[in-house]
Amino acid sequence: MFQLIIHPDQLVVIYHRDSFFTIIIPLLIKIIQKFFCFCKRLYIIPLGENARKRHYHEADKGDIIGFAVQLEVLVNDQWKVVIRYDSAHGFAHIDRYYLDGRKVKIELHLKLSEALTLGDEDIKENWKIYQKAFLEGK
């Protein structure tokens, strides 16, 4: 009657259109997603000219268990990371990148959810300043 396919980050169910599953299955999917939460999200949003934000987070029942939010700017037809708020290596931190290839790590003594909020807010407020500084090699 229907086929269940589980991907790492989403649940897909293929079913026949003319059955009562047409109504039941989408409801079941919503319930399963709510309680077991297949929640890995990765998307890109343009911020402005030659600047974009890449957002990744992983959640378990509403709690953030991993994230990476980074500002990328276009330099010579290549997207370069300028600043990244990240939870890799088990703790929240900032990786600041420079045009000459240097990278500076700053530890954040924050909960992952707080660090994610901080990253989103900081990039929202300051992306132009970061972009300018990066392009000037500062």
* Binding site residues, another protein, CB under 8 A: 9-10, 30, 33-34, 37-39, 41-50, 52-53, 55, 57, 59, 62, 64, 69, 74, 116, 120-121, 124-125, 127
Give residue 36's identity as a one-letter amino acid code. Answer: F
Q: How many residues does the chain have?
A: 138
Of residues 28 and 104, the one with the C-beta less far from another protein: 28
Beta bridge pairs of residue 75:
78
CB nearer another protein, residue 21 or residue 38: 38
The rounded Cα 3 to chain-centroid distance in angstroms is 30
CA distance 78 to 128: 18
- Tell me whether residue 23 or residue 137 sits nearer to another protein (CB atom): 23
CB of 46 to another protein, least distance (A): 5
* Rounded least distance, CB 120 to another protein, Å: 5
Burial degree of 39 (CB within 10 A; 0-12, 13-18, 19+): middle
Q: Which is nearer to another protein, 85 or 97 (CB)?
A: 85
